[in-house]
Structures are given as structure tokens and as C-alpha cells.
Amino acid sequence: MEMIELGQTGTHVSKLALGAMQMGGATGEPDAIRILDSFLDAGGTFLDTADCYEWWARRGSRGGESEELLGRYLKGRRDQVFLATKGSALPAYSDKLWNADGSTDWELARRTFAGAGGDTLRQALDGSLRRLGTDHVDLYYVHVDDLGTPLEETLEALDGLVRAGKIRYPGWSNVRTWRLEAIRQLCDRHGWAAPVAVQQQHSYLRPKVGNASASIVGAEQSEYLDQHRDLQLVAYSPILKGVYDDPAAQRTGAWALENYAGPDADARLAVLREVAGEVGSTPNRTVLAWLLHQTAPSVIPLIGPRTPGQLDDLLPALDIKLDAGQLARLDAAGA
């Protein structure tokens, strides 16, 4: 697996990142270990988790299952990986977070997220370090941008954690472009450690007109990140829950497509299928290959396979070479 510089830090990570969100929940420990072993054997180094993973999967959970599993796995091999985790997105505990049928009340969760206050982040990180069995993480994200806490408080706290050696680099996730610029200016003004990575939902399909999500990279944010190469784009949900390989889900309007569906998506899917046929691969793998070819801005796709078989199905994307003509057709496709 190729390595890529993370932003302009001088630190190199694998060009594909592995998300551990479901590990310890939907993915049991034996399968999680097989996935982790296969990823490291393929040359992967970049692992991603969060303190809240995966509280919603089990009534009464307070999250942390993923971090605990990684902590057990990484004993004796912590120095082999670049380890990222996140804080701020764990909601205040209430039994009402789970509906009577076991489903999640996401509206209540979003209203009660922990947020990015200084004390909140310091306590959350200490809990993460304890579960992960390490004295530091390489990258620590503000998981959900907190508009209710002064940015100065959050940034000063993150800077203190860098100075204390508990995190190497800060990052941000689910954030609008104007906030990234405000963060940059405050860090410059005060000499605080600035974020080096932004984790957003990003894929081959483009968000439809009128999309208001702060979590999805649009044209403006893509241009901003291309102009500010010190911020590395880490793309979560790069294959949109696998819908590229699922024509039935595309026809019936799978929820993963809600922010993308329309004539532009249909046109891009048609060209994607053509190119996938030309390279003898699946649309899912071809999307990953397209993302790995991107330079404006560069992209680190973050995959989250639930089973070892799903990882085995995606890893061949690393060997797909798209020629200039194919890249131009994929880029130009659209309504």
C-alpha cells in the first residue's frame, strides 16, 4: 500500500484508512482481529475510531467498545499504526435515546452531544487513552463541530493537549468551510496547534442542489481544501454503504443516496459503470480507485468494512490504475 504525507506535517500514513466504528459491536472481536490483521498485512497504518462508537447499537451503552477492542489489539504493536480517535459526539445519557423498538432517537442525541468545551475534551481524551491503552493518539478530531462553545476555548484546549504530548495533531469533522477559515485565523493569531486533517463525507457522487449538510464536501469546500494543502481530506463513507454495487438500491432510493439522488447522480453512475467494466472491476472498487487518484485536493478514503470478506472485496482497489482518459470521463460526467 502506498503512503501519503498527512497534509504538510511530514508524517506519512497509508493512503487508505481503516475505520473501526463497528468493531466491538456489529463486528465481533474475532472478525475485527481478522480485518485488522489483513489491513496491516496489506501495508495499512491509518486506524480511525471515536469515543462514541458504537453507543447506539445497544441500549444502555456509553460507547467505547471500539476503542477498547483496539486497545486490546494494539498491545505490543502501537508503534505500527497511526491512531486517530474523536471526541465531542457522545450524547448525555438517557434511556430515551432508544425507542421502544430499539431504534435510536437521533434527534435527542444531536440535541445532547457532549460538545467541544475545554474540560469536556480533556476528560473525553483521557477516557479514550485509557480504553486504547496508550499515552497518546496521533490525531484527535472534534467529531461534531460545536457552534455553542467559543472556538477559542476549544482550540486552546486542543493546543494544551498537544503540548502535553497526549495528541500529536488536532483535526475536525462534520464542519463548514467558513468555520475552517475561522479556526485557521485563530490558530495563526494565537500560535495554537492548527488542525491538520478534516474528516468529511466524500464520494464520487456530488451532493445534490440544495443539500445543506455540514458533513458533505461540496464544490466550495473542495476548492478550499485544494488551496490549503495543510488540511488533509479524510473521506468517510467513500462508497456510500456500498450502493455503487447495488443497482436495486439505486433504483429504489437507498437512504445513503438521499443527499445525492437526481439526474447528476444518474449520469455519473452510468459513466462509473462503463469505466468499471473497462478496468474489469466493480463500481465500489472503481470509486475507491478514483478517490485514490485525486490530487485537488488529495483524499484519504476511510473504509469501514463490517466483515473480513468486505475488506477483501475492497483491497483490490489499490491496484486499479485509471488512465488519463478514464479519469477525465469520470470527472466530466454529470447532468
Report the SS3 class of residue 118. Answer: helix
Distance between CA atoms of residues 199 and 324, nearest Å: 27
Report the SS3 class of residue 187. Answer: helix
Closest CA to 153 of 90, 161, 228: 161
The verdict on whether 93 is a catalytic residue reads no
In 155-272, at which residue ranges do the beta strands (DSSP E only) sit?
Answer: 167-173, 197-201, 232-236
Contact 8, 36 (CB under 8 A): no
Looking at the DSSP bridge assignments, the partners of residue 172 are 142, 198
In the chain, at which residue ranges do the beta strands (DSSP E only) sit?
Answer: 3-5, 12-14, 17-19, 46-48, 82-87, 137-142, 167-173, 197-201, 232-236, 299-303
Contact 205, 268 (CB under 8 A): yes
Please identify which of the residues 53, 224, 236, 244 carries the catalytic annotation: 53
Distance between CA atoms of residues 251 and 230, nearest Å: 39
Angle, in degrees to the nearest 10, between helices 177-190 and 219-227 = 30
Distance between CA atoms of residues 216 and 219, nearest Å: 10
Contact 60, 82 (CB under 8 A): no
Catalytic residues, by residue number, are 53
